[in-house]
Amino acid sequence: MELKDSVPLIIYDNQCRVCIQFARVVNYLAKGRLRLIGHYTDFGKQIRENFLDQSALEMFWFIDSKTAYGGRAALGPLFSAILHVKDNNSENMVFQESCDIKCNDTAAVFFRSVSLLTNSRKIKIKN
């Protein structure tokens, strides 16, 4: 699998309403210049299997051509990419509107926010 043509990209939980809202905000701030991929899409599964580890579903990921940053470690590179990426790699984003799990209450927002701050990973991408 060749990842170079798809980066930079963000992988988020596309079955969680809180995470979908986070992806919407990122897409808005980046003006559609970053590619957003759901964890549970076919492409998201391929990325998890080929480049990430068992902690992949615990956090969102920012992936550039050399490194996959997860959770807290992804915040700096993500903000940098929002400010500096000039190419428009993404197609029109369609976000899933429904959520099968209970993720719309205050506890879910708190849990996801704490999860973002406590989980952090960096994985080098092998060429």
Q: Is position 34 within any domain?
A: yes
pLDDT tens-digit series, residues 27-44: 999 988 899 999 999 999
Closest alpha carbon to 19 in 120, 116, 85: 116
Q: Is position 1 within any domain?
A: no
Angle (nearest 5°) at CA 81 between 13 and 25: 45
Structural domains in the chain (count): 1
CB atoms within 10 A of CB 18: 21
Angle between helices 72-84 and 106-118 in degrees, nearest 10: 90
Question: What pTM, to 2 d.p., does this model score?
Answer: 0.81
Q: For residue 67, which phi and psi values (nearest 5 degrees)?
A: -145, 145
What amino acid is encoded at 72 in this protein? Answer: R
Residue span of the structural domain in which 72 resides: 9-124
Q: Is position 3 within any domain?
A: no
pLDDT tens-digit series, residues 52-61: 888 888 889 9
